[in-house]
Amino acid sequence: MIILACATLLTLFAVSNRETVSLALWPLPFLIDAPLYLFFFLTLLVGGLIGASAAWLAGRHDRRELRRRRRRIDALERELSATQSQMGDSPRLPPPALPAKPAGAT
């Protein structure tokens, strides 16, 4: 519902602002003529890309830690499978007996 409402508002904005405006890029000698809504949408797009890039860069420490932990887990799994294969070659010991419960204990 929210996306539909936003799409409706953006469509109404685009239809209402079809006039051509000139955008001068100050240090550059360029003058761009385009509809006003196009500049608005481009500004939203650039802002979204900058925000997504900032979020991606902020998460680099977490991704690095996850990669480190994944490598550690893989190494431990390899070590466990090697130990289990060695245990399969030697006779298995029975599991230790559990201590008996005292009478009346639940």
Which letter, b or e, does each residue of 57-79 get, where b requires 16 or more Cβ atoms within 10 Å of its Cβ? Answer: eeeeeeeeeeeeeeeeeeeeeee
- Tokens at residue 69, please? 């932990």
- pLDDT for 52 equals 96
The contacts of residue 36 (CB under 8 Å, 6+ apart) are 17, 18, 19, 20, 21
Mean pLDDT of 59-80: 96
* Percentage, residues of the chain above pLDDT 90: 46
What is the pTM (predicted TM-score) of this model?
Answer: 0.58
Q: What percent of the chain has pLDDT over 70?
A: 84
DSSP assignment, residue 95? Answer: P
Can you give the pLDDT at residue 36? Answer: 87
The answer to whether residue 103 scores a pLDDT higher than 90 is no
1 pLDDT above the threshold of 60: yes
Phi, psi (rounded to 5 degrees) for 78: -65, -40
**Beta-bridge partners for 21:** 34
- pLDDT band with cut points at 50, 70 and 90 for residue 58: very high
Task: Report H helices in the chain.
Answer: 2-16, 36-58, 60-89
